[in-house]
Structure 1
């Protein structure tokens, strides 16, 4: 390791495999020297052939911790607009590339090899920084790795790196040495020939015949001569061995590759087993899959044993097979070609010397002795190469390879035997669970037989199925003292008629077969009936119902309770269910006669009529009687307007109001004719019910007003299209069909399909309105006319380089939704280069430039701090009120009254107070 000046004081390296910590300090000459080791041992060094440096050797298990101690001089870097970084690479070439070029700050920090060192704000004398080094993913088992790191200073002005201190080191993985072997107890351990205390030398000697039978080395194709003198036979033998060596090298590399693949498969299998166990546990807790007993009794233990078994196999595969085999390959098999070339060079050199020696005419002084020494050296080299090849094919190397595989497979046998013993220990739990499952199957079989019998009875029944027959009458309790009734209700079968009062005894005991409970005080809470009815919801009541489309009838779940009639729409989906109420006070119910549809009856209150259809005549009579009874009690007890029972188990839960007010609080105008009602509820004039049923406070709406409103909406749409031709087509997909929707905060005109997509984006992105069905403010209309689709798309689609990316009308909703997300949420096509949101918006408001206003709003201006400035720029000119509406729709909040009075005239204050926006109170 080497360092530099006093910026870096010391470096501590911890989490070594022996638990020790090594400390280095910076010397005056700029190098780092080892000053201490908690283990008291010397630091191992390794020579790097690339950099020709001696690198300290760090043995680790999973990771290493580096602690850098800096002086307070590094705090001056922030003032000089410099950044302190740590660069780490595994190759010297990659390391030097960072200093060979100029890099931008974003490119430098985005590199995985660069870590920015964030300095604290305090003026401490010493600053400590922690960096955790870990090997790349999937390389934890690699036992050797060179690392080149340094502390450098990056200048943001000239984009240069200045090296402060460089430190290189050599890491060795010891991840497998620390694995716990206590999982297998001594009583459970199965011994093998390699795990017994006896050594190979203590075994009795074998006969030559036995050795021949048990030989693991095939030498039939190679005959090693007793005389290793150089000659044709010797060279032929070497040539054959060299060919076999090349083939051996190829298959050794292939074997190591297969071992690594098997190790990866073991890792994946172990992860899959654990994930399966976790998923089964989650499914048992979250669903009706009751697997708790199976998990607790057997599955959790079995999967833990299985996962540990795989872990042990993988550990032995790497440490007992791969690493020893790789060491032999690196030491003996891999350098085969180098040894062959070395021997060829030695042979060539010797025979060259022999030619020179024989060509000499006379013995020079010392010439014979030099040649004899070379001859002796070549003989030793030839003998060493011969022994190397012999060991490689019929000697210690082959024995070592076979010993490695034998040791691994013996250890594998131990694990398999132990795994079998452990699985046998949990087998009784599995057998008990099997008995419980058989009992459960027997009870399930009985239930299935009962179902089949019930189904056969339904098939053989000639009448109406029980599920479609009228339900058994539910108790209706009108048992209130009839002498308190003051006056009967008129009309039809109204509650508490004169005949009903005269027949007190019959009334208190029976109503057409329905059970009446006596005793107790009268209460609407005791009147309860529920069931499925078809509700008529489109045209006037006086027409022939047989001629009405089926779409006008809706299946609602009706509940009579607490003196009210509750209609549940979407009752099949409890989450999206809507509910509306009708007070039965002073209400009447009677059968609708002379109509084409059967079993129809109507409910009439002082404020509305509702038409229902039951599933049978008996069911219709039951509903009429229940409604009349509830109306009778509500009328003469002056009961309060009740709400549905939230905890009732007899009807859907999680219901929400379908309308903002109940039907009876919004009376229909008496001036509306039957044809007017029919037109108001037709497909071409589909007005919402809040607009149709207006309260008495705001006055009733005449049919002429409805028609004028509908006509004015069409006129406004035509005006939009004449003002800007682009408003005739959808701003997103270009459709010309049903382009009667808009977004008032962007603002654009849309088709009906794109309006649904805008609604799915959320009101914080797009506030969608209907040009036909919704009532728009005057400023919103002016806003749509003065901006339009073309102006918006010039801003929001400026960066759309390829027009084919824009969806067409025939594209599906997913394509249109993806485009809308990029256009309005991600703003992917807007050019924000050099855009200051606040300055751009203010400039656009002052100069009345729509493009800058839209660009500033898309860039998300700071309404919280500069809202008053924007408000002041708009309220100076009353012709910009539509721009004020646009600001309000995009998040501008009104300040408090004092700030408002300073910048806005009294008339404008009155106008703004009518907008009823949420005020922003500055803390």
Structure 2
């Protein structure tokens, strides 16, 4: 136990035996770093047992010393208090809670000062007048807690709350947790920590300025992705496009000012050079006159030697400077830059004209689209294409005009001269400058080509694709060229189409799980009718923003996609609609066209299956008018599998798994399913790899997702549903059994897998490279025999060890003829029958499909049961 920790965290508990404090977590706004205060039972009393800092992303312990301060409370149960940085203003309480009935609520009270006591808090709450800024109150009903009614043990929930560090700093933060039935308040526990002094606005401003100080330029090898990010030209309307316009608009005065100053300074330098030449002659003349007055110096040849030496110094400098002024800072070039960037006549201001055209086209297009989408049957596609083209071209012209302030012919000519000026004598200028100038030329050529492509579009779908995906759009991360260092030989890759594998497995692994764009929402912005919004799908959540130009002003709380269903919607009056259905609400959206609608549905469907449970944890600050959000961590959990007899058609199996998948899987005897199969962690072990049938912790599940779903298909045992064959397969989850062959030769010390990179490398070796498996040459033979016998565990082992699922085999069709069929078609002859269930379950076929077996169209000539044909047809349609 941490002795200092126990002496610095005063925990005062009430009488309740239903709720206990397990851990206090203090974190910053972005939840990047956490201060963790662990609580456990010591000598029949709950005390602080450990205090540490952790990196939230990697879960690594940060070796930052914990600081303490003297406890100056009037009534103090500890001599010290934990000192906390005011940036850690998000408060998480990990609680152990037993289910209970009744109309009760939990109340969290946060106060400042050493004199706060339970009696004054009770009086304040009973008054119902929450008007003190130094006291914050949050409340949630017991009925809203996601507690399992049939679980008698304690269940862990994490309550997300916070406090105002502008109010509570340089003082004690008191946290009280109470329970109320509406008439009285029962004390559950309270604790104290010290919140350090908040930096002043002036000091913060100084620090910010220091952080913004530009770094010294360093020569680095730039990758393809660096140039793509620097030279992108995103036209898809929304916050990113509008921010790009704003960024360029803000640069214009700076460009104009700096060019004007540069020209003035160069004129000053030129005049100074002339004065310098005149001064040189005068200095030599004066020295000569002085030397003549000396009877000895003329005999030393002093005047000649001084004049030559002095002129050499000046001439060397004058020649260099004249060359720079006439060639590097060419007057014609600078005059052209000035003419491009200076607007003397407002009536002939080209920028104003182009900007006005863009704004008018934008207003006209969206007004027209609103009417078009309400009844597009009466408006032809050709009219829409014309409107869209005009709008897209106005966007292009305005963005291009703005970007050309720093990327025009004359500005590029100036920098080319500067590059030559600093180049080596034996080289016109260094290769990285050559590459940069080549990229500039190609970038401008690609912009010209993009405008031509927009003008030449024949359909709206073609225009949609060009705007969203062209050679100037930032490429996806899975482009195999992204990390290549740019050379003069591969510079063409920067603006070339992406180069990536085209296999179905790769496409599945790199499916898109994020998207943003403009949608019309029914009842959008909390108003009746259809309203334009900015919608973002990211990190497994959908967020709506009323200001589509900036992506600000969130409309409601994020929608966790894992808990929704998504489907297209046929609306009599509106086209291109889809709906998102949550357990409590339905959301209806309309895309700009059918292609966009399908793209949204696809991304939402992908994101639904890739959601991390941490996304369901709302870290926003909670006030008394808002309910707290909780994260339930069920610690409860399956039955063992059964092997078949020699060459059966089917085998009898156990009962189907109940809906508490996590509890059932953990109850499988001698399975170690409560321990992560990859790192041996026992915390948050509630994720499953469906094609290896191993149970994982949340950190290892993240590594499995990193490998791609073509390698490991990860699902949540708490959040996802399992139906039919996939539900029956859960009975065969067995970490201990499967690791006997997956890690047979491993000597890796799992306790040293501390970082995400170490963990990922080990998991790739285990599942992709199969480094720890004893190699066998007869895996395919064993696989066929195990399917024949319906030996599920042996099927799992052989496939996990690398057997080929896409085998073909020969079976006897009649007494004389043989028939060639695939292993999948043969597996459809084998099924499981569940007790008390009148249904056949093709779990071997399901497992083979999970591991990438290819299926063809249903062949009715095969000798299969009607149930097998139905299963085959359903799977073929799903994977088509």
User: One fold, TM greater than 0.5?
Assistant: no
Structure with bigger gyration radius: 1
Larger helix fraction of residues: 1
Greater relative contact order (CA < 8 Å, ≥ 6 in sequence): 2
Q: Which has the higher strand share?
A: 2
